[in-house]
Chain A
Amino acid sequence: MASLSWKHHTLIQALISRGPLKEKEFHSIFTGVTGRNPGDAKKIFDKYLLEINKELSYVHFELRACRDQYDGHVCYGVVNTVSDDQSKLGTKYSVPQIAFFKGIIEAIAHDEAAQGCISGFDALNIRLENQVPSEASSSQQQVPPAFRNFSMSQKDKTLDELVKDNWLCRTRDGNNIGLGIRSLLDLRSWFRNNDVPSCEVCNEAGVKADLCPNEGCTVRIHKYCLKNLSSQRDDRVCSGCGKPWPLGRVAKEEAVEAAVNDDDEEETDTQATSLRSKKRKIRRHRDSAENVSSQASLASSSGITRRRVTRSAAHLS
């Protein structure tokens, strides 16, 4: 039984005590303990994660990565994978608070427009009564007094706590409530079990995604997945219904790239140079995004054949 080194322990403990970390921060911890940069030493980084997950599977935990659907950045976290008596203890929130939270998740996840958020006003008006756990069919559906008496100010306070703990997030304009990174890491299987449509490209739940404009078509794609997609092929049609997919901002980037290709010869032209550096920036972004998406922890079980996908570390248990 191989034991993990203090370097592995540091990575695990950091995620446990500090909560989910952005990729940049997690990578800097890795560099701090190993002296290697995950960008350059990808194999070593993946090996570490694999070793960690092999041991964590014993206690039904997993070190997982996922993309924050609101800013496209990758985040890492240690996640519980099994719901049992012990895990039910792992929360400081009360029963009505959890019911309130569940109501918010459902409202956000089932939004037909896949905006990935609900307004603060709607959040405060979530009704807890819908969250009453269903007892045996014979007994009446009793709404616990704690649910009925959960006041507006309690809801407001709970919202603040949930945002502080990263279960929920506030959108940039501050008016809307979206899913926090903890929820995105944790609820992967919940999204699947509750029929939240997945993104066509990465197969993760498309909580905040662009929808195919064709009303009959259910295809949805994350904005950041769209950017990667349009770089790979020229046609911009929906893979579900074949109708053209409006790319908006992405189309402009394509135009820039085309312009730079034409101007490639001119070294001295300053405009071309600035365009070329923009092209380099776009390409680097695409490259790094592709590297990230093929990283062990991000791949989903079904995989997408077009992309280079390595098996998720989690599935090696």
Chain B
Amino acid sequence: MADEADALSQFGISKEETDKLVSEVIRFLLFKSHQNSGCPIKREDLTQIVTKNYRQRNLAASVINEAKTKLSSVFGYDLKELQRSRTCSNAQTRLPQSQSNADSKSYVLVSQLPIEVFRKHVVEETTSPMTGFTFAVLAVVQLAGGKIPEVCSIETLWHHLRRMGLHESDEHNPVFGSNKQALETLVQQRFLHKEKVSGPEGNTLFYDLAERALDAQVSERVKDYISQILKNDVSVVELD
């Protein structure tokens, strides 16, 4: 932490000013996370807070690092960086490497508490259905090999969700409202990535796993979840 403080002092602005910047970045992260229900926050939104009033190069990066440290020490939140590093096979143009690296970073706040403590004291119960939905969808996509078409063939995402009682056209689900919207939220939260692929029959929509689902923490838990279900249904599988 002393290193961070030294790093900030090199910019020739007072401690009060750097404290204010770090505080604004932290507040932005907390309020925005609440407003967009956990969807990733773009790095450029954070840097803008700094560059609005200050021109020093790399000041924004230092401020964000200090904010990350403080979020962890004061709140127990990890400022998780998501990099849109996927190679889009359909991309026609490629951005220059440095720019694409900087622009495409985004952040989510994840609790660093031990999972049992989180479950017992912190989790907000109204979010449980969405979490369950996320797990189910990710498990289906992962079992399908990491990529699954939306509708066209027999083995599609909605086919599996229908078997769990969720219909694509249902707009009045008592928990999710619109089921389609619930799935769209997973795309916005970067658990899934939606891709249009033009094929012989026209355009098909494919879902595959995006950054947050590929993150080790999440994918491990999804694998655990899948193996738990398989363990319980071992007899059924063997008969098949």
Chain B, 113-166, CB within 8 A of any chain A CB: 113-114, 117-118, 120-124
Interchain CB contact (< 8 A) of A87 among B31, B70, B111, B112: B31
Kindly provide the distance from the CB of A83 to the nearest chain B CB, expressed in whole angstroms: 11
Report whether B24 and A86 are in contact in the complex, using a CB–CB cutoff of 8 Å: yes
State in angstroms the CA–CA spacing of A202 and B147 once bound together: 62
Chain B, 73-127, CB within 8 A of any chain A CB: 73-77, 111-114, 117-118, 120-124
Report whether B1 and A1 are in contact in the complex, using a CB–CB cutoff of 8 Å: yes
Find chain B residues with CB under 8 A from A3 CB: 73-74
Find chain B residues with CB under 8 A from A1 CB: 1, 73
State in angstroms the CA–CA spacing of A80 and B26 once bound together: 13
Report whether A12 and B27 are in contact in the complex, using a CB–CB cutoff of 8 Å: no
Q: Please name 12 pairs of A and B residues whose Cβ atoms are closer than 8 Å in the assembled complex, sorted by A.
A: A4-B74, A9-B76, A13-B111, A59-B23, A59-B30, A85-B24, A86-B24, A86-B31, A87-B31, A89-B31, A89-B32, A90-B34
Interchain Cβ contacts within 8 Å, total number: 85
Nearest A-chain residue to B114, judged by Cβ: A6
Report whether B35 and A89 are in contact in the complex, using a CB–CB cutoff of 8 Å: yes
State in angstroms the CA–CA spacing of A14 and B122 once bound together: 4
Report whether B1 and A90 are in contact in the complex, using a CB–CB cutoff of 8 Å: no
Interchain CB contact (< 8 A) of B112 among A9, A29, A92: A9
Report whether A56 and B74 are in contact in the complex, using a CB–CB cutoff of 8 Å: yes
Report whether B121 and A60 are in contact in the complex, using a CB–CB cutoff of 8 Å: no
Interchain CB contact (< 8 A) of A6 among B1, B19, B74, B113: B113
Report whether B122 and A90 are in contact in the complex, using a CB–CB cutoff of 8 Å: no
State in angstroms the CA–CA spacing of A92 and B112 once bound together: 26
Find chain A residues with CB under 8 A from B75 CB: 9, 12-13, 16
Nearest B-chain residue to A58, judged by Cβ: B23
B206 at the interface (CB under 8 A from A): no
Find chain B residues with CB under 8 A from A60 CB: 23, 27
Interchain CB contact (< 8 A) of A58 among B19, B117, B122, B123: B19
Nearest B-chain residue to A82, judged by Cβ: B27
State in angstroms the CA–CA spacing of A6 and B30 once bound together: 19
- Decide: A91 near B35, CB < 8 A? Known: A6-B76, A6-B117, A9-B113: yes
A32 at the interface (CB under 8 A from B): yes
Find chain B residues with CB under 8 A from A84 CB: 24, 27
B176 at the interface (CB under 8 A from A): no
Chain A, 35-94, CB within 8 A of any chain B CB: 55-56, 58-60, 80, 84-87, 89-92
Report whether A59 and B123 are in contact in the complex, using a CB–CB cutoff of 8 Å: no
State in angstroms the CA–CA spacing of A238 and B34 once bound together: 46
Count of chain B residues with Cβ under 8 Å from any Cβ of A?
29
Kindly provide the distance from the CB of B94 to the nearest chain A CB, expressed in whole angstroms: 33
Find chain B residues with CB under 8 A from A32 CB: 120-121
A132 at the interface (CB under 8 A from B): no
Find chain A residues with CB under 8 A from B31 CB: 86-87, 89-90
State in angstroms the CA–CA spacing of A273 and B128 once bound together: 49
Report whether A90 and B74 are in contact in the complex, using a CB–CB cutoff of 8 Å: no
Nearest A-chain residue to B71, judged by Cβ: A59
Nearest A-chain residue to B23, judged by Cβ: A59
B 20-42 to A, binary, CB cutoff 8 A, 1 in contact else 0: 00011011101110110000000
Report whether A90 and B35 are in contact in the complex, using a CB–CB cutoff of 8 Å: yes
A10 at the interface (CB under 8 A from B): yes
State in angstroms the CA–CA spacing of A14 and B28 once bound together: 20
State in angstroms the CA–CA spacing of A86 and B111 once bound together: 21
A247 at the interface (CB under 8 A from B): no
Kindly provide the distance from the CB of B21 to the nearest chain A CB, expressed in whole angstroms: 12
Kindly provide the distance from the CB of A33 to the nearest chain B CB, expressed in whole angstroms: 7
A18 at the interface (CB under 8 A from B): yes
Find chain B residues with CB under 8 A from A9 CB: 75-76, 112-113
A268 at the interface (CB under 8 A from B): no
Interchain CB contact (< 8 A) of A89 among B26, B28, B118, B123: B28
Find chain A residues with CB under 8 A from B113 CB: 6, 9-10, 13
Kindly provide the distance from the CB of A49 to the nearest chain B CB, expressed in whole angstroms: 14
State in angstroms the CA–CA spacing of A18 and B120 once bound together: 12
- Decide: A55 near B24, CB < 8 A? Known: A6-B114, A10-B121, A32-B121: no
Interface centre among B74, B77, B113 (most CB of A within 10 A): B74
Report whether B76 and A13 are in contact in the complex, using a CB–CB cutoff of 8 Å: yes
Report whether B114 and A18 are in contact in the complex, using a CB–CB cutoff of 8 Å: no
